[in-house]
């Protein structure tokens, strides 16, 4: 809260609003991911203003239709062309008035000034007039300066995704939709090479950081409130990493030991790879592959921070002739490309960038990768299929189809209760994830 107040009163308060509007424009009009657009838009801002711009941008995308209805009703005609960025600035202003613990006068004045920074000095009056009109007609704020958005703000999903969630998870659809519009908790993964989880919990307590250990993911800790990573004890030395508890389960389900030859497919940004390396001193180097050189830079950074190593391939995993040395693997982790519909609360731009037709294409790609990797697995070896999707077409249906086509493949139950495991957003506090473990006949 203190950082947010500092931003309101500083000369950079307007700049954070302008940066948020610019990033939202790039996402909605240019199809750029928020994780790419936001760092560019905020590159010259102080850290406190970067955090404010981030909070606004992510928040706007969580409730985009509700905000569009509010702002659109006040415009005589849609803003187009060079003025389109002002529409996103108005969304920024409306989000502050309705959803953030920012005083009304500070939200309005900083957003109006942001119009000048965006090169729309002559339209400051338009921004001011619409925001003040919204303020006059808005319901009373609660004690934390927040207001209830009109309409069914729980949904705030594109129709195709709303229908898909209701079709695949009718009993849990309302919970999923609500979770997708919330801010996710911050999870940590403790590096067993340096300390036990209990030891690290004590270090957090000594640093006045409240946290709780997870009941199932044995290296996972949930922070009661997010905090900058530089405040985490030992973060810079690789003692702990940020990773959702659902994603941490991959290291449990892969059923690996130090003697195994292991392949991590679609490995970037490297969280699951590091988890395996933290747990096991492998006799052979783990091999990791990803097609995106930019994302592989993150893998290198994470390995360096943790003081660990692996053999990294930048290649198309399905084109095995380009990178495979011909020696089969005991274990393969396939973190398959997917719709990412299980991590919308962390990446709300997914709701607006993903299209219904993408799901068929992703399912085809998953099938192709599975088929390409299967010959690389030793007889008796195991492949762990994972996605951060909650859609059956990418998960249960994909695995059922593969088992029908591969006579030498069988399913190893993930747990005593589940053949496969579909975790939903918010379940046990974690993200939506799917796991299936496949065994190759001897």
Pairing of strands 262-265, 329-335: parallel
Q: Which long-range contacts (CB under 8 A, 24 or more apart) does 151-159 make?
A: 151/66, 151/69, 153/63, 153/66, 153/181, 154/178, 154/181, 155/65, 156/62, 156/63, 156/64, 156/65, 156/66, 156/181, 156/351, 157/351, 158/351, 158/352
Q: Give, as one character, the DSSP assignment of residue 362.
A: H
Contacts of 415 (CB under 8 A, 6+ apart): 421
Distance CA 249, CA 206 (A): 28
- Among the listed residues 99, 265, 266, 388, the single catalytic one is 388
Residues 215 and 163: beta-carbon distance below 8 Å: no
Beta bridge partners of 188: 221, 242
Q: Give, as one character, the DSSP assignment of residue 148.
A: P
Radius of gyration of the chain (CA): 23
Report the candidate in 59, 58, 60, 46 with the shortest Cα–Cα distance to residue 11: 46
Distance CA 411, CA 433 (A): 18
- Please confirm, yes or no, whether 99 is among the known catalytic residues: no
Distance CA 44, CA 176 (A): 36
| Terminal CA-CA length for the chain | 59
Catalytic residues, which ones? 388
């Amino acid at each position: 809260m203190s950082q947010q107040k500092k931003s309101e009163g500083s000369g950079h308060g307007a700049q954070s609003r302008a940066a948020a509007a610019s990033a939202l424009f790039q996402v909605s009009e240019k199809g750029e991911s928020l994780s790419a657009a936001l760092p560019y838009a905020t590159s010259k801002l102080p850290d406190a203003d970067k955090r404010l711009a981030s909070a606004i941008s992510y928040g706007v995308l969580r409730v985009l239709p509700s905000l569009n209805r509010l702002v659109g009703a006040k415009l005589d005609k849609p803003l187009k062309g060079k003025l389109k960025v002002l529409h996103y600035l108005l969304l920024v202003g409306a989000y502050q008035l309705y959803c953030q613990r920012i005083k009304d006068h500070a939200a309005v004045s900083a957003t109006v000034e942001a119009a000048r920074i965006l090169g729309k000095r002559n339209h400051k009056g338009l921004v001011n007039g619409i925001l003040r009109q919204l303020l006059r007609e808005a319901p009373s704020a609660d004690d934390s300066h927040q207001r209830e958005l009109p309409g069914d703000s729980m949904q705030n999903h594109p129709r195709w995704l709303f229908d898909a969630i209701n079709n695949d998870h009718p009993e849990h659809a309302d919970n999923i939709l609500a979770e997708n519009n919330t801010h996710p908790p911050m999870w940590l993964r403790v590096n067993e090479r340096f300390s036990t989880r209990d030891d690290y919990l004590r270090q957090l307590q000594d640093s006045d950081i409240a946290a709780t250990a997870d009941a199932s993911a044995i290296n996972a800790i949930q922070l009661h409130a997010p905090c900058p990573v530089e405040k985490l004890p030992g973060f810079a030395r690789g003692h702990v990493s940020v990773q959702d508890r659902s994603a941490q389960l991959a290291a449990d389900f892969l059923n690996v030991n130090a003697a195994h030859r292991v392949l991590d497919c679609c490995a970037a940004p490297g969280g699951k790879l590091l988890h395996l390396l933290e747990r096991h001193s492998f006799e052979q180097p783990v091999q990791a592959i990803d097609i995106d050189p930019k994302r592989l830079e993150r893998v290198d950074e994470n390995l360096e921070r943790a003081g660990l190593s692996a053999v990294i391939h930048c290649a198309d995993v399905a084109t095995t002739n380009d990178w495979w040395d011909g020696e089969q693997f005991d274990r393969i982790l396939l973190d398959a490309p997917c719709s990412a519909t299980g991590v919308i609360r962390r990446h709300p731009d997914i709701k607006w960038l993903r299209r219904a037709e993408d799901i068929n294409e992703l399912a085809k790609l998953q099938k192709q990768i599975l088929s390409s990797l299967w010959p690389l697995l030793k007889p008796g070896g195991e492949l762990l299929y994972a996605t951060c999707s909650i859609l059956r077409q990418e998960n249960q249906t994909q695995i059922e189809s593969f088992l029908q086509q591969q006579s030498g493949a069988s399913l190893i139950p993930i747990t005593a209760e589940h053949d496969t495991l579909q975790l939903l957003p918010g379940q046990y506090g974690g993200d939506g994830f799917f796991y299936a473990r496949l065994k190759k006949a001897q």
